[in-house]
Amino acid sequence: MTAWLPVAAALLAVSLWAISFVAIKVALPEMRPETMIWLRQLLGALTVALIVWLRGSWEKPARGDLPRLALAGFVGVVLHQWLQAQGMLTTTATVSAWLSALAPALMAVMAWLWLRERFMPRQALWLLLAGLGAILVSAGSWPALLRGSFGGRGDVLVLASALAWALYSILLKRLVRTRRAGTVTLATLFLGWLLLLPLFILRGGWAELAGIGPSGWAAVAVLGVGSTGLASILYNYALKYLSGTLAAALQYPEPLLVVAAASVLLRESFTPAMAVGGLLILFGVWRVERTAGRLGR
């Protein structure tokens, strides 16, 4: 195994995820969140299926794996993406990216609660620092912070989606240890798409398809083929060969990429207060993961 290959795969996946924040903001004015997610997952599952077929890497999941695969599909597709899309209806791509950057630190807390991994008091301190950064990013400016203008509905939903992503990552990490990454990826995407189908039908998503314009279809294609299909294959492959700490650390550039793309393509503002908050998030998350790495030795 070439040492740099899993790292390159993770970085490319993170870049594709960064693009997804901009693509979601482009797609949402033209369709409901449920329609966007359903189309995104359909294209993502088809992309992964094609890659798995070309590589000849498909293996039938064991019957005992189906409940865990279905749970991962529900958490990663239905819950995570629905919360994120609903939140981004009322908050910016930039704020969403910074709040989503808390996911690795939330993974450490979840591993402590669920997997009984060690969690030291100083990790809680760094997590609190990252949380303060999230509040500052949500406020957007120092006067707004002093007025208590932070934590709107959209911000809370995006933060909840980061928690769902942390749970999804832990579920995937356990699945890909002894199974092919392509099989796990395709099964979770397909099962998640099936679980979302009743909501798509109930919300009348099919009626929106004819009214989607070229920009909406382009955004859905980017989300489905790139940010879901290719990114899932790449990141699950990386998870198989990288430590959880390194895989999480490679996600650090994501909010920086989103800031650059959103400022150019969406004309979103990025204030000095948000920059300070973002640095607090990255520093706090880095310290939480560094401490976790030392405990694992």
- Residue 297 is predicted with a pLDDT of 43
- Give the chain's residues under pLDDT 70: 1-3, 57, 110-121, 145-150, 243-245, 248, 289, 291-297
To the nearest 10°, report the CA torsion of 179, 183, 186, 190: -80
- Residue 126 is predicted with a pLDDT of 77
Q: Where are the domains of the chain?
A: 4-295
- Residue 233 is predicted with a pLDDT of 82
Distance CA 125, CA 146 (A): 22
Distance CA 161, CA 226 (A): 20
Query: Token pair of 214, please?
Result: 């070229």
In a 13 Å sphere around the CA of 149, the CA atoms on its Cβ side amount to: 8
Nearest CA-CA partner of 172 in 226, 127, 224, 239? 239
Distance CA 202, CA 221 (A): 23
Nearest CA-CA partner of 49 in 171, 247, 228? 228
Q: What is the pTM of this model?
A: 0.83
Residue 223: Cβ-neighbour burial (10 angstroms; 0-12, 13-18, 19+): buried
Write the pLDDT tens digit of every residue in 62-109: 778 888 899 999 998 889 999 999 999 988 998 888 888 887 777 777
